[in-house]
């Protein structure tokens, strides 16, 4: 069987100057940024909770979670409502991103290995990269990042 024609769809977005992509299976919805209700005693990347059609959605600042430099929210700031596949069920989490770009169809051949030497993340967090208009887009394994907020996504020193 020839798998080369099978493409995967990725939603690309900006975090600061960098471009990232998440598999569309993980993205349920994109919301405009709105005020978040803070929850005391949580890690600072956990921004709080919002009302998502009558249910409570926890919201995480993805840049902060990835340990990137922060900047103020703008009118482009969005909340990605994500489906995170955990062992038994699917959990919804909101991720704050700076700017949502587009959905790209990517064939497996287009996915390049992410140079893993000296990068600070565990390798499974960024399984690969692809190029869009000469720019590298890093694929994020959203299930890995969000399925357990307590575990570090960073390489142990």
Partner 1 sequence: MEDYQAAFIEEANDFVQILEESLLQLEGDRQNPEIINEIFRIMHSLKGSGAMFGFDDLSSYTHHLESLYDQVRRGEILINRAIIDFTFESVDHIKHLISFQPDEKYIKNSQSLIKRIPGLLMATEGDDKDIQRPIKSINTEKEAQQKKDQKKSYFIRFRPDTDILKDGTNPLYLIDELVAMGTCIVKARAVNIPDFNRLDPLDCFISWDFVLATKEDPSNIEDVFIFVSGTSEIEIKEIADFDIFEKDENKAKLMALLACPDVSSSDLNEFSDQQPILTRTPDLIAEEEPTEEAEEVTPEIQEKSNLSSTKKMRVSTVRVKAENLDNMINLVSELVTMQARLQNIAQENGDLELISFAENFQKLSRQFRDLSFGMRLVPIQNLYIKFQRLVHDVSKELDKDVDFVTEGLETELDKNVIEHISEPILHILRNSLDHGIESKETRQELNKPERATIQLKAHYSGADVIIQVTDDGAGIDLEGVRHSAIEKGLIKATTKLSSKEILDLLFEPGFSTKQDVSNLSGRGVGMDVVKRKIEELRGSVELHSEKEKGTVIKIRLPLTLSMIDGFLVKIRENSFIIPLLAIDKIHELKTGQLDKAFNHIIKIEDEQVPFINLMNGSFDGFQDKPAKYLVLINFENKKVGLAVNEVLGEYQVVLKPLGHLLKTKDYFSGATIMGDGKVALVIDTNKLIQQFAK
By the criterion CB under 8 A, which residues form the site for partner 1? 35, 37-42, 44, 46, 48-51, 54-58, 86, 91-93, 146, 149-150
Looking at the Cβ atoms of 43 and 108, the one nearer to partner 1 is 43
Measured CA to CA, the distance from residue 141 to residue 68 in angstroms comes to 17
Looking at the Cβ atoms of 35 and 134, the one nearer to partner 1 is 35
Shortest distance in whole angstroms from residue 17 CB to partner 1: 27
User: For residue 25, what are its two tokens?
Assistant: 């299976």
Shortest distance in whole angstroms from residue 91 CB to partner 1: 5
Measured CA to CA, the distance from residue 10 to residue 107 in angstroms comes to 11
Shortest distance in whole angstroms from residue 126 CB to partner 1: 21
- HEC string of 18-84? EEEEEEHHHEEEEEECCCCECCCCCCCCEEEEEEECCEEEEEEEHHHHCCCCCCCCCCCCEEEEEEE
Shortest distance in whole angstroms from residue 58 CB to partner 1: 5
Chain position carrying tokens 């992509």: 21
Looking at the Cβ atoms of 37 and 116, the one nearer to partner 1 is 37
Looking at the Cβ atoms of 17 and 54, the one nearer to partner 1 is 54
Shortest distance in whole angstroms from residue 10 CB to partner 1: 24
Looking at the Cβ atoms of 77 and 92, the one nearer to partner 1 is 92
> Residue 21 in contact with residue 139, Cβ under 8 Å?
yes
Instruction: Tell how far CA 108 is from the center of its chain.
Output: 20
């Amino acid at each position: 069987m020839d798998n080369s024609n099978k493409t995967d769809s990725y939603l690309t977005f900006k975090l600061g100057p960098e471009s990232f992509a998440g598999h569309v299976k993980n993205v349920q919805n994109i919301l405009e940024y709105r005020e978040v209700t803070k929850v005391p005693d949580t890690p600072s990347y956990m921004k709080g909770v919002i009302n998502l059609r009558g249910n409570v959605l926890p919201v995480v600042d993805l840049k902060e979670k990835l340990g990137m430099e922060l900047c103020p929210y703008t009118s482009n700031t969005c909340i990605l409502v994500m489906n995170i596949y955990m062992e038994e069920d699917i959990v919804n989490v909101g991720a704050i991103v700076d700017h949502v770009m587009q959905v790209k169809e990517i064939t497996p051949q287009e996915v390049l290995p992410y140079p893993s030497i000296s990068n600070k993340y565990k390798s499974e967090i960024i399984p690969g990269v692809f190029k869009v208009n000469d720019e590298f887009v890093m694929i994020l394994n959203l299930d890995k990042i969000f399925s357990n907020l307590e575990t570090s996504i960073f390489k142990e020193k």
